[in-house]
Structure 1
Amino acid sequence: MTEIIENEGAETIGFTPSWWTFVLLGIIAVIFGIFCVAMPAYVTLFLGYFIGAFVVVWGIMTIAQAFQPHEGGTGRSVALIILGILAIIVGLMVFTNILSAWFTITYLVAFWAMLTGITNLFQAFTGKDSTWYKILLVIAGIIAIILAFYVLLYPLTVLAFIYVLGIFLIAWGVVVVITGLMTQK
């Protein structure tokens, strides 16, 4: 739901997600968190191979994009082809060496957690919702930022990382579900 908020004659557009999106996101996070804690080895392999497949598909799409008509000229097409080939090579390397995939995944998760935490804090301090909603967003943001710093400090402890990710997802998911239920109108 997008709302126009008037502030001393100036118009700004504020975005407050629907309550059910929080609940759904929280439930998915809790379920995946339980999988992480209950079956860390399977989650490790799944995420590694998923990322590898994703990078290969992205590389193929990037190469295909190089042959589409565009205004970048030959230089842009060559750059896209090189980028696509590199992505395919990296993606295939993931299938041969899952440890290299995990090195990449841990930093991607750290980046995602940091952005999630910053976004939650931003929403808490700029939103016009209830105080409890803002407090829960601050808690969720702090949990995400703590995860980001943990992953940056200990990037290659894969099983420990999966357990920590699982615990984080369960805690964060519960907070997000509560946030959604409290904002239901």
Structure 2
Amino acid sequence: MHDFYNAYWWLFLLRGIFALVLGVLAVGWPGATFTTLIVFLGAYLFMAGLFAIAGAIAARKSNENWGLFLISGLFGVILGILTLYNPFATGAALIYLVAFWAMLAGLLELIIAIRLRKVITGEGWYMVGGLLTILFGVLLVANPVAAAVTLTWIFGIYAIFTGIMLISLSFRLRSRH
């Protein structure tokens, strides 16, 4: 199995370069619309899915887990196509999904903070954190345009770090090849 990763180090390199370029574009265009982010996300899902499918096909004789790579790749390609087909629906769904998660997470933090009152002192800070998390979710719903720009920057930073990590990994795998 290790021979597979060493032999196909370049797949990680290509994914890393693609993620890095995508991240720089997302961060470098602060005025870009959320639709652009969603198109980038759709392109990334599609391309990452293709790379995973290529890796699965290449690994089918040397890696017993090649089927997992294939399934992951197929899901990536399908999600990428759906996202590129209707970026507005995907963008709206993403904003509301993050907002719902934030409000639910904040509520759970409040519940935990109340229960911690019997165990520790200073639980008020955890309550403040829960309230801020709920407020974050409410703000996302109240101003989806600002949410879209913020999520664009977060995605860009994530893609840059992921790209650097994948490129670094590819060079380490190549040196072992």
Partners of 1:95 and 1:44 lie apart in 2 by 13
Partner residue of 2:102? 55
Local SS of the residue matching 1:106: helix
Partner residue of 1:74? 121
Higher helix share: 2
Partners of 2:68 and 2:175 lie apart in 1 by 16
Q: CA deviation at 1:37?
A: 1.4
The sequence identity of aligned pairs, in percent, is 24
Instruction: Answer yes or no: is the 8 Å Cα contact 1:52–1:101 preserved in 2.
Output: no
Q: TM-score, normalised by structure 2?
A: 0.54
Distance 1:101 1:38, change over 3 A: same
Cα RMSD of the aligned pairs, angstroms, is 3.3
- Higher RCO (CA < 8 A, seq sep 6+): 2
Instruction: Answer yes or no: is the 8 Å Cα contact 1:49–1:94 preserved in 2.
Output: yes
Structure 2: which 5+ residue stretches go unaligned?
A: 3-62
Partners of 2:109 and 2:173 lie apart in 1 by 38
Partner residue of 2:144? 98
Q: TM-score, normalised by structure 1?
A: 0.52
Q: CA deviation at 1:105?
A: 1.4
Partners of 1:129 and 1:19 lie apart in 2 by 23
Distance 1:74 1:113, change over 3 A: same
Q: CA deviation at 1:88?
A: 0.6
Q: CA deviation at 1:97?
A: 1.6
Partners of 1:89 and 1:130 lie apart in 2 by 49
Aligned length: 117
Local SS of the residue matching 2:121: helix
Partner residue of 2:132? 86
Partner residue of 2:26? none
Partners of 1:83 and 1:113 lie apart in 2 by 27
Higher strand share: 1
Q: CA deviation at 1:84?
A: 0.8
Structure 1: which 5+ residue stretches go unaligned?
A: 3-15, 132-185
